[in-house]
Structure 1
Amino acid sequence: MTRPARRWRLVLLLPALALLLLGLGFVRFLALAAAGPAEPERPTDGIAVLTGGAERVETGLRLLRQGRARVLLVSGVHRGVTLADLAHLAAMEPGELAGRVALGHRATSTHGNAAEVAAWARAEQLGSVRVVTAGYHMPRALLEVRRALPEVAVLAHPMLPATLREAGAAGRLRTWSLLLREYLKYLAVRVGLPAPAAPRNTHPAEPGTAMEPAEPGDAR
């Protein structure tokens, strides 16, 4: 084989290899996104809910009500949301949440969620935190939180959004578009780049609720 032919073969081989690695990485990402809660029966010192859908908040409050943690943070919540709103959502009295539930209003991104969770965990002197968010968002969320809070044990408690539980969801283009975008954001964060921004107020998996910020925390 001549030198130019070898050069062209290499030029064609490298992109093919890169696509193969990306594809294998996507398969691994899907496995991570589909995983269940880590050590589901293990109590933790705290629970951190990353907003993006009311079901996430309900899940966190249910775990708190079951005595699975001492305190809970809802990170990236809309500024108009109060403890009374959360109590109504969980069918609890506001007094039951007072002193146990904190609302984080500053985070507008997953990176911001991680910083908010880290500051709260250190202030509460927590040794372990269970993170509640959507399964497809969990790989990136764990990466960000563990980087921001390396001294604390961080456990995943993923949940499947209602629209992804619907019949036929796996065959919808928007489902795979969401997963692919989230995978690319995860890769960006893995190599130290900021996750690509998503359009405002667009989230194909979970419709906006009063519990989430103007831009869902996992959409950026």
Structure 2
Amino acid sequence: MIGFAFRVAALVFVLAALGFPIFVWSLSRTSADPGTADAIVALTGGEGRLQAGLELLEHGKGGRLLISGVHAETKREELFAAVGGAMPSRAGCCVDLGRGAEDTIGNAGETAAWVAEHNYRSVIVVTASYHMPRSLMELSAVSPFTQFVPYPVFPDRVRLEDWWRDPETTGVLAWEYIKFLGATVRVAAATRFWSQPAGLPEPATIERAPGENAQLVGTPT
């Protein structure tokens, strides 16, 4: 019995190891024009994401932007200054801040609440290329009837073209792959193998654009 369990574990390990280079080679190397969607969500936590989300909003690719995962004590002005720009022209009407998310699961919950509040059907997702597969899986699990359009960005420290030559890049990608595998198992269980939506992890706290002078606090019912 122990020998059988060991062989099964070894097989799982080998399959997972073989899947790693496939995962890496499947990652986007360029950002194609995402077209126009109802809205945009930028997931904080990495280089270039906020700037790309703001640029898409300014170019009319979506009618509204959610910046998910903003620290509770970070002010709007500080957030925009951090990307080296002045307050965007549409910040007063069209940029909402998700204040509660601390990880990708939280990002998905905030986004699902925001999508349900505005009845969006299509949303452009801005995050790092290596983070995109897990993000799309988490988002689709809690908001399966929304079309999520990927718009990847490429942080300088992650060199996808020759990732095997750079220890830092290899480490980042390997850790993300492990998290992707874990998320796949968890989402499969939560959705009964993608046959139903997953439950939202926690209530979302979303600070609306100041022009609306209101807050959305809660989750879709």
Bucket of the pairwise TM-score, normalised by the shorter protein: 0.7 to 0.9
1:129 aligns with 2:129: no
Work out whether residues 84 and 94 of structure 1, in 8 Å CA contact, stay in contact via their aligned partners in 2: no
In 2, Cα distance between the equivalents of 1:175 and 1:93? 33
Match of 1:103 in 2: 97
Match of 1:74 in 2: 67
Work out whether residues 74 and 103 of structure 1, in 8 Å CA contact, stay in contact via their aligned partners in 2: yes
Give 1:84's match in structure 2, choosing from 77, 80, 85. Answer: 77
In 2, Cα distance between the equivalents of 1:118 and 1:143? 13
1:120 aligns with 2:114: yes
> Structure 1 residue 152: deviation in Å?
0.6
What do residues 97-136 of structure 1 show as CA deviations (whole Å, max 9, x unaligned)?
Answer: 1121001110011100000011011112111011111111
**Structure 1 85/170 Cα, relative in aligned 2: closer, same or farther at 3 Å?**
farther
Percentage identity across aligned positions? 34
Runs of 5+ consecutive residues of structure 2 not aligned to the other structure: 188-221
In 1, Cα distance between the equivalents of 2:2 and 2:143? 47
Give 2:55's match in structure 1, choosing from 62, 73, 77. Answer: 62
1:49 aligns with 2:45: no
Match of 1:22 in 2: 16
What are the residue-to-residue correspondences of 1:28-47 with 2, within 5 Å? 28-34=22-28, 36-37=30-31, 40-47=33-40
Runs of 5+ consecutive residues of structure 1 not aligned to the other structure: 1-6, 194-220
Tell me which amino acid in the other structure corresponds to 2:170.
W
In 1, Cα distance between the equivalents of 2:181 and 2:13? 14
Counterpart secondary structure, 1:190: helix
> Structure 1 residue 159: deviation in Å?
1.2
Tell which structure's C-alpha radius of gyration is larger: 1
1:180 aligns with 2:209: no
Count of residues in Structure 1 that have an aligned counterpart in Structure 2: 186
In 2, Cα distance between the equivalents of 1:156 and 1:71? 16
What are the residue-to-residue correspondences of 1:129-208 with 2, within 5 Å? 129-165=123-159, 170-192=164-186
**Structure 1 94/159 Cα, relative in aligned 2: closer, same or farther at 3 Å?**
closer
Counterpart secondary structure, 1:158: strand
Work out whether residues 56 and 132 of structure 1, in 8 Å CA contact, stay in contact via their aligned partners in 2: yes
Q: Which structure exhibits the higher relative contact order, with contacts defined as CA atoms closer than 8 Å and separated by 6 or more residues? A: 1
In 1, Cα distance between the equivalents of 2:12 and 2:47? 38
In 2, Cα distance between the equivalents of 1:127 and 1:13? 46
**Structure 1 94/85 Cα, relative in aligned 2: closer, same or farther at 3 Å?**
farther
Tell me which amino acid in the other structure corresponds to 1:65.
E
In 1, Cα distance between the equivalents of 2:79 and 2:3? 60
**Structure 1 142/180 Cα, relative in aligned 2: closer, same or farther at 3 Å?**
same
In 1, Cα distance between the equivalents of 2:160 and 2:25? 19
